[in-house]
Structure 1
Amino acid sequence: MKRRTKIAVVSLTAALLITAGSAGAAVASGGGAAGTAVAAHPHQREAAALTGTAKLYRSAGDDITFSFDAHLAAADTKDPTKATGTFRFSHYLNGRGAWAEASVDCLLTGGKVAVVSGVITDSDLPGAKGTRVGVSVHDLGRHDRLGYSWAAVGNPADVKDLPKCVASAPFEKVKPGTGDFHVVPWHPAL
């Protein structure tokens, strides 16, 4: 009797899992009101994206962090200046430094490399608000690299009249164990 009970329980569990899987597949394929938009474009993804956070490596012990949440919708694939989102960066050493947050105004990606620009909307760095800055990222897994438009001048507030989607090459290394940038490559129809 025990063996029959076990077989019945296993059979019932399998039946429930199959039913749940079928229902989930129906919803995912567009069954029901919530799935309607998914059914229209089941394989459509955003045109480009740059997400993640990492700290830069500096031998002097600087605490430098960059975070990105930048996206280009599939509908805007022909115009990278329609990208949305924010990115944030900070740089501190011996208790001194500053932070800034920018509103994304352009995002270009190719393979594992991204260039994002934005206008600083909030910061404790004097003169930085309203300045456009650009950042580049090379998504190399745990060994990501990063560059920024103020590399040659030393201060984001000193960057003047920067065009959209412009940054230096990704020359900086991220601190080991902190690189989690993720680049979604852009595939425009040319």
Structure 2
Amino acid sequence: MNRRTRITALTAALLITAGAAGSAAASGGDPASARPGEREAAALTGTAELYRPAGDDITFSFDAHLAAKDNMDPQAATGTFRFSHYKNGQGGYAVAKVDCLTTGGKVAVVTGVVTETDVDGFRNKRVGISVHDDGKRDRLGYSWITEEVYEELPPCMSAAPFEKVKAGTGDFKVLPWHMDYPTE
């Protein structure tokens, strides 16, 4: 095969691949959807470290999804989220099972019950986190802002996203929820 033919074949293959990827992104296709090409109802994914001038190592990670079939039931959301806070070799972590997810524009609120932790105060408690995915410097908030984990935090409740993530670490992705409104 001559050089021109190889270049043309390679270019065509790249264009086909890019076109397929672009079509999937434009249609909102997601592997977690029940039907091919069907967009999830809402999602929150990604990881970031919080900025703290004292050098605390604080990380939040999310993998939360609301399937298209559950569009009108944010408490049917699935997935997990994880957070940790360490400083000078002390601290802890927690993993929560998602029990509610709502999103609006680039803001998400997720709650979950802590299923794994080395901090007794979080064990089996519902916690809530909010995220603002601004594309430049994401923000985050959490329900235990007062350092108290509440006994009966309702699903999908958290503080506003008041914390800044450390520059260069925020890769949160919020898929906006499109609620179906009654027509009558």
The question of a shared fold, defined as TM-score above 0.5 by the shorter chain, is answered with yes
- Mapped to 2, the partners of 1:42 and 1:73 lie a distance apart of 12
Query: Which string of whole-angstrom CA distances, capped at 9 and with x for unpartnered residues, describes residues 69-107 of structure 1?
Result: 000011110100000000000011111111000000000
Q: Relative to structure 2, which stretch is displaced further, 53-62 or 41-50?
A: 41-50
SS at match of 1:167: coil
Give the alignment partner of residue 93 of structure 1, picking from 87, 96, 99. Answer: 87
Q: Relative to structure 2, which stretch is displaced further, 71-80 or 42-51?
A: 42-51
Aligned to 2:167: 176
Aligned to 1:162: 153
Aligned to 1:123: 117
Give the alignment partner of residue 40 of structure 2, picking from 32, 40, 46. Answer: 46
Aligned to 1:134: 128
Count of residues paired in the alignment: 170
TM-score normalized by structure 1? Answer: 0.79
Aligned to 1:62: 56
Q: Which runs of 5+ in 1 are unaligned?
A: 30-39
CA RMSD in angstroms, aligned pairs only = 2.8
Q: Which runs of 5+ in 2 are unaligned?
A: 24-33
What amino acid is aligned across from residue 137 of structure 1 in structure 2? V
- TM-superposed CA distance for 1:141, in Å, is 1.7
SS at match of 2:122: coil
SS at match of 2:99: strand
CA 14–90 in structure 1, closer or farther in 2 if over 3 Å, else same: same
SS at match of 2:75: helix
CA 140–12 in structure 1, closer or farther in 2 if over 3 Å, else same: closer
Aligned to 1:108: 102
Aligned to 1:84: 78
- Mapped to 2, the partners of 1:61 and 1:16 lie a distance apart of 48
- Mapped to 1, the partners of 2:10 and 2:90 lie a distance apart of 59
Query: Which string of whole-angstrom CA distances, capped at 9 and with x for unpartnered residues, describes residues 27-74 of structure 1?
Result: xx9xxxxxxxxxx96542101000000000011111110000000011
Larger Rg: 1
- TM-superposed CA distance for 1:123, in Å, is 0.0
SS at match of 1:127: helix
- Mapped to 1, the partners of 2:164 and 2:171 lie a distance apart of 12
- Mapped to 1, the partners of 2:177 and 2:161 lie a distance apart of 18
CA contact (8 A) 1:73 1:83 kept: yes
Give the alignment partner of residue 187 of structure 1, picking from 175, 178, 182. Answer: 178
TM-score normalized by structure 2? Answer: 0.82
